[in-house]
Amino acid sequence: MTAAKIAIPSNSAHSILHPLASVLKTVESESLQIVFWNTQEKSIFDLFDEFSPSHLFITEGELSEELNMLSNEFNFKYALITSQNDISFPIQQSPHLIINTSGADGVGATNHMPWQPASNVAQIHNGSYKKNKQSDILVLTGSVPMSDKMLDMIDCMSKTYSVKIVGSAMVNLPYYLGAISIFEKADFIKSAKLLLDFGSYDCLDAAYLKTPSLVYSQHTPVFKYFTNLTQLKDLASEIIQQNDERAENYADGLYGYVTGGHTSYHRCGTIFDMLGEPEIKEAVLGKLGELMQ
């Protein structure tokens, strides 16, 4: 592999940078170096002076005259991560790739990648069953607001099942246990019989860990979904109480869906494919293959 040096902002609000950075760290080598760059503590001039990246990930805040000056002096490729659909570029060198986190498809743009949700495999791969984290039903908070209707459904389910709620957003229910790390999240998922996903796409992480999920309103093509309490009760009963084989087959199908193209490794591989770096893509997807063995 041709030597590559990749710089990634460490203080960005764009959440996709965290799984991207985690993936790249798993394939880091002498010929593929990763540096995390706090844009508030180190200028882009200092970054290039110390590290001279061959590939740079930036957000709108780094589209500056400084970057323009560096593009005249250094040879590098950069990817812009943005949630905006209409962006002007005040620099001579346009992005080699635009990653749009709003999901806009950029029709007609060959260098445009709409970011799609994915399982954060590099962060959750080692999730394992822990008796003290076991539950019938798990709910994760922090990604989307929890409405009163959602909380009422969860509370009703707690009358029949063991329920645990964890995450950064506090909810006023007695089985809310508090905020957790990404590694604790993986263990909680692996230790649950069923995950309820209210729009966070945590169902994708659960699928990789072979924990069945039910999704509130349909937003993925293969997950069973519910829109009201009656549907939730019926589906939960099928998975938790009635048929172990049916639940296992459902979980296996979700695992196949995610590992077939919907992990952070797949998204990272697509990025470097679009940047014209097939060797980095091969290293990334090769690592995923190792993890799945």
Q: Provide the whole-model pTM.
A: 0.93
What is residue 273's predicted lDDT score, i.e. its pLDDT? 96
Residue 40: count of CB within 10 angstroms of its CB: 10
pLDDT at 173 over 90: yes
3-state class (DSSP) for residue 94:
coil
> 244 falls in which pLDDT band (50, 70, 90)?
confident
What is residue 109's predicted lDDT score, i.e. its pLDDT? 64
What is residue 266's predicted lDDT score, i.e. its pLDDT? 98
Read off the pLDDT of each residue in 30-38 and give the average, rounded to a whole number: 94
Round to whole Å and give the CA distance between 264 and 279.
17
CATH number of 124-259: 3.40.50.2000
According to DSSP, the residues that pair with 215 across neighbouring strands are 197, 225
What is residue 246's predicted lDDT score, i.e. its pLDDT? 82
H-only helix segments in 96-243:
121-124, 148-157, 182-190, 202-208, 229-237
* Higher pLDDT pick, 5 / 15: 5
Round to whole Å and give the CA distance between 19 and 15.
8
Read off the pLDDT of each residue in 84-98 and give the average, rounded to a whole number: 77
Selection from 117, 119, 130 nearest residue 255 by Cα: 119
Ranking 58-72, 221-235, 268-282 by mean pLDDT, the lowest is 58-72
pLDDT tens for each residue of 54-72: 999 998 888 888 888 998 8
| Core vs surface per residue 121-153: b (16+ CB within 10 A) or e | bbbbbebeeeeebbbbbbbbbbebebeeebbeb
CATH fold group of domain 4-118+263-292: Rossmann fold (3.40.50)
pLDDT tens for each residue of 102-125: 865 554 467 889 999 999 999 999
Percent of the chain, pLDDT > 90?
Answer: 78
pLDDT tens for each residue of 178-201: 999 999 999 999 999 999 999 999
Indicate if 124-259 has the same CATH topology as 4-118+263-292. yes
pLDDT tens for each residue of 113-171: 999 999 999 999 999 999 999 999 999 999 899 999 999 999 999 999 999 999 999 99
Backbone angles phi, psi at 231, to 5 degrees: -60, -45
* Higher pLDDT pick, 155 / 219: 155
Round to whole Å and give the CA distance between 162 and 87.
48
Residue-range domain boundaries for the chain: 4-118+263-292, 124-259
What is residue 220's predicted lDDT score, i.e. its pLDDT? 75
First-last CA distance in the chain: 24
Instruction: List Cβ neighbours of 126 (8 Å cut-off, separation of 6 or more).
Output: 183, 186
Mean pLDDT of the chain: 92
